[in-house]
Structure 1
Amino acid sequence: MQNHTGGTQLLVDKRAFPILGGELGNSSASHLEYMESVWPKLKAMHLHTLLVPVYWELLEAEEGNFDFSLIEALLDRARRENLRLVLLWFGSWKNSMSTYAPSWVKRDTARFPRALDEKGIPQEILTPFSENNLNADRRAFAALMRFLKRADGKYKTVIMVQVENEIGMLPSPRDHHPLADAAFASQVPEPLLDYLREHKAQLEPELRAAWRRNGFRNSGSWAQLFGGDTTGEEIFTAWYFARYTNAVAAAGKAEYPLPMFVNAALNRPGASPGEYPSGGPLPHLMDIWKAAAPNIDLMAPDFYNPHFQYWNDRYTRQGDPLLIPEIRFDTDAGAKALYAFGHYNTLGFSPFSIETGSTKAMENLARSYDLLAQLGGHITAGSIKEGVWLTRENPQMAFTLGDYHFTAKHEFTLGWSPGSEAETWPEAGALIVQTGLEDFMVAGTGVVLTFAADGKRAGIDTLEEGEFQDGKWTPGRRLNGDQSHQGRHLRIPGGEWQIQKLRLYRY
């Protein structure tokens, strides 16, 4: 895996990043007529990139016969709309299950065997231990990538590909197919042992603890090295899912070497492997995936829980780049996007089922994406910036940019805004970019910023609202009076989405 390089190889086309994205609902891209009704909604949200499923069952309804008409039509329309695409390969697994495998795979369980739970009951999951399963998937994926090179290599409409979707074993920690049982009883593969030895001091703490409990052994079975409990079973599961996925990715990259990633269904607090998809590309298993899948460029979280900062911190704690390819499309998505681009320098952000969000969620995301698009070159990987995301539970954040210390607070902390006494507050966010020694751009909604400096007081020299038009700053109102509380703070009211240009000074 190339994550440890910092993701620089992903920037194959600087125009494509950062990804201001949205993911189509799972079935939306399967009908061209439906897609025609979706385009006007997408255009209104200032998307740069659309994440779109590609279905094995539609691509290869008959074994060996491939139909690329849906993808061809999608490529054509995306180019007309000036959109980039990220394709999501729904091959062997989608949300752990094998529901998008073709009928000729589903119905022939002798040739294409299923995973078994601990009671020997077959699951709607293709076992990753079958060569037939793997070969059928990678042939189809290679055909897809070969088509993309021929149809899109010149245009580069497709910028990335997701391989499979939310991989993991359910409802048990590991597969109990006879092939899996034999593999679990066998020796841990030498490539994994080499990786463990080389990265021993930097391993994810959960993996290192499991290995340490068993004496940091350098050989033995999976149970001997990592335990025969659910911990050891999940590590084993992760290795074989990752190896399978790596082989699919390798077959695709041999045809057309686009950046490729995997996504994870995040485990819930207190849940055990098998209660969540066991063995997926989760933070505590990142080292297993890195060792097993060198053709996967990064791992990414899918968000359907409130612990946004916690999971992003975990995915980036080894220095890996962050991508958020799927997140619940709530009204807070716009604020979270500002935070993710500012604080984590994320490669991209993409709410799920972008075409069916509520009116308010769509409006907030569109206004957030509009601000991000205006900032453009100011939010590249090398820019000096920070992001904030504020709620009633976490109403304040502090950070430093250059010589100045900032405190960001939710607007409702001022006490005079209507609704500040409510049980819940609208989530607020901002992205702050340093453009000079004393100069900053602040884009966001519902935030209040105050400033300090070492040894002196910090004040507002000039503050104005405005917008970028064709990359050039066009100023609006000067805000040095009532709007800044006579120089006490910078404020962007809730319900408004603004860019303010700030110059500080010390006295």
Structure 2
Amino acid sequence: MKRIQLPIIFTLLLTLLVACNNAKNYSKSDNSARNLALPMIKESGDVKQLYVNNEPFLIIGGELLNSSASSAEHMKDIWAKVRALNVNTVLLPINWQQFEPKEGTFDYSLIDSHIKSANDNNLKLVILWFGSWKNGESHYTPDWVKTDMERFPRMLFKDGKISNTISNINTDCLNADLKAYKKLMERIVQVDKNGTVLMMQIENEVGLLGGTRDFSPEATKLFNQQVPNELIKYITNNLNKLKPNIYEQYVNNGSKKQGTWEGVFGKSPHTDEIFMAWYYAKYVNQLAEAGKAIYNIPTFVNAWDASGGNLIPGVWPSGGPNYLMLDIWQTGAPNIDILANDNYSPKFGLSAKNFVHNKNPLLVPEACAIWMNDTISAAPKAFFSFGHFKAMGFSPFGIDHHTYHSTHSIKKAYEVLENLMPLITKAQVEDKINSFMEGDEASPASFQLGGFIFKPDYNLQKDSIIKGYGLIIQISEDEFIISGNACNVGYASADSSKPDSQLLSVEEGKFVDGKWKKKRTINGDEFGIKLPPNPYNIASDVYLNNISTLKIKLFKY
């Protein structure tokens, strides 16, 4: 046998060590680069924005119907249809029942397929984890969870009846959900090589439907224990910023520094909801924390809108992240980045405003109730959300429903919003944007941008189903981008030393590679801030898809 000389051995060993070290360094560098490119939420002043590939990004989204994503075969034709509507992000569920059909056996086929298909269609994804709860109940839990009520107990109503909602305080329930969610996050890391998944929604519209709280012996025992010190501390430190439902329950009962839930907040259905919110938040936070340790992308929870009036918790899911309970969730679930507004309210603006609280940014993952024949409001609501509330994202529910057809107004609206995204995100931070929507009480009658006051006017001939809307972005001292439909916009000087104003120029066009490209100059009978910029007030000139973008210049004297 031929002997290898010692110098050669040392050379080989040295080469191997260098190669291993280079590989290790490459791995670290690769991971570091990927971490830098991860979607993240950045705060600039009072505005929080989603960053994707280190650039501010608006979720111009669409959420699928609940059952669409349960089959890759069913989704085959949906991807292209949704992309054709100029959606940039699809919100779709992965449900626990399909993901872990047998305990410990995980089916990755759907998450793999959806990530690949989204990437193939140049779409981003927000994954909705339908785990322990969806719409206040537990229909998406696996059969082995549903049928084992001893191991996975359900909440009890006050009359002792068993609910369809698994416990939010039971460790077996939490650990099973947690294990599945971690497996999902691990899989996303393995297959999502292009940064397709932007965010994770954990659970869906949680809370107890039909009752104010869980009256099981275990929950009642906790209810009669001391309110956690961390919650009391948060309340006392943020007293003047609390939502009324929390503030009034606490202050009206003596602002106590310790006590049971009823001792601190009084005997009330609202106290029951505060208790429920705390334990839902703590449960969900453990999933968020574990998931971020695996793949640190933003997380949110969404809320069934808590109707006002004399209604009580249980009519909406009691304890969910609705606007009444935002303070409880912000305390109990610090690993949740956004408490999101599922907004089907006829008072859209008021509902949205309620969620802009204590630095909670507006994200609307569900809007426009198809079951109430409401889809054409999607375009106005998208403009209003991004411009007036500086929203991070907007998404009508059921974007794959046939009502969102190839000529639906959302298609043109989303094309315009995508075109204006760099201006919108910049103006959100600089507070140089506002928007308006006809028929909404929260919409401004007038507002100031720079040295000018703008006043939307919806008094023009049009079909009654068409509602005017628009947004205005200030791009220089006297120049503005204005986009929308079915309205005129008045203007005036806000400068008392130069009280008069004049419109100098109006151009219609769009941005191409970040530069304004004029389609035409508007003058004569068409001159004015008119959306659309047509010469006469004729009803047939205003239709749902007639969304225009103008660049105007004003003068004060």
Q: Same fold (TM over 0.5)?
A: yes
Q: Which moved more, 1:88-97 or 1:247-256?
A: 247-256
360 and 35 in structure 1: CA distance in 2 versus 1, 3 angstrom threshold: closer
* Map of 2:393 onto structure 1: 348
74 and 252 in structure 1: CA distance in 2 versus 1, 3 angstrom threshold: same
- 1:436-451 correspondence runs (5 A): 436-451=476-491
SS in 1 for 2:413: helix
2: CA distance, partners of 1:141 / 1:408: 47
* Map of 1:457 onto structure 2: 500
1: CA distance, partners of 2:63 / 2:126: 9
10 and 44 in structure 1: CA distance in 2 versus 1, 3 angstrom threshold: closer
Q: Is the 2:50–2:56 contact (alpha carbons within 8 Å) kept by the matching residues of 1?
A: no
How far did residue 54 of structure 1 move?
0.7
Q: Which moved more, 1:353-362 or 1:233-242?
A: 353-362
How far did residue 273 of structure 1 move?
0.5
Q: Which moved more, 1:377-386 or 1:230-239?
A: 377-386
SS in 2 for 1:437: coil
Larger radius of gyration: 2
Q: Are residue 160 (structure 1) and residue 207 (structure 2) matched? A: no
* Map of 1:260 onto structure 2: 299
SS in 2 for 1:299: strand
Q: Are residue 497 (structure 1) and residue 537 (structure 2) matched? A: no
State percent identity of aligned pairs.
Answer: 38
How far did residue 314 of structure 1 move?
1.2
Q: Deviations over 1:290-312 (max 9, x none)?
A: 11111111101111221111011
The correspondence for 1:125, drawn from 165, 170, 193, is 165
Amino acid at match of 1:18: L
* Map of 2:118 onto structure 1: 78
- 1:208-227 correspondence runs (5 A): 208-227=247-266
SS in 2 for 1:303: coil
The correspondence for 1:402, drawn from 445, 450, 457, is 450
Amino acid at match of 1:390: E
* Map of 2:239 onto structure 1: 200
Q: Deviations over 1:352-409 (max 9, x none)?
A: 0101052569621111111111113101142411111113988972011000000011
* Map of 1:373 onto structure 2: 418
What's the TM-score, normalizing by structure 1?
0.93
Q: Is the 2:436–2:443 contact (alpha carbons within 8 Å) kept by the matching residues of 1?
A: no
Superposed structure 1 runs of 4+ greater than 6 Å apart: 2-5, 392-396
* Map of 1:251 onto structure 2: 290
60 and 16 in structure 1: CA distance in 2 versus 1, 3 angstrom threshold: farther
Q: Is the 2:90–2:125 contact (alpha carbons within 8 Å) kept by the matching residues of 1?
A: yes
* Map of 2:537 onto structure 1: none
How far did residue 48 of structure 1 move?
0.8
448 and 198 in structure 1: CA distance in 2 versus 1, 3 angstrom threshold: same
- What is the RMSD computed on CA atoms of the aligned residues? 2.0
Q: Is the 1:333–1:361 contact (alpha carbons within 8 Å) kept by the matching residues of 2?
A: no
The correspondence for 1:99, drawn from 139, 163, 174, is 139
* Map of 1:468 onto structure 2: 511
How far did residue 78 of structure 1 move?
0.9
Q: How many residues align?
A: 494
24 and 15 in structure 1: CA distance in 2 versus 1, 3 angstrom threshold: farther
Q: Which has the higher contact order (CA 8 A, sep 6+)?
A: 1
1: CA distance, partners of 2:284 / 2:488: 46
* Map of 2:429 onto structure 1: 382
* Map of 1:68 onto structure 2: 108
Amino acid at match of 1:387: S
* Map of 1:477 onto structure 2: 520
Q: Is the 1:260–1:295 contact (alpha carbons within 8 Å) kept by the matching residues of 2?
A: yes
Mark the runs of 5 or more structure 1 residues left unpaired by the alignment. Answer: none
Q: Is the 2:462–2:486 contact (alpha carbons within 8 Å) kept by the matching residues of 1?
A: no
Q: Deviations over 1:465-484 (max 9, x none)?
A: 11223333221221121112
Amino acid at match of 2:413: S
1: CA distance, partners of 2:223 / 2:269: 12
Amino acid at match of 1:156: G
399 and 66 in structure 1: CA distance in 2 versus 1, 3 angstrom threshold: same
Q: Is the 2:62–2:90 contact (alpha carbons within 8 Å) kept by the matching residues of 1?
A: yes
Mark the runs of 5 or more structure 2 residues left unpaired by the alignment. Answer: 1-40, 534-541
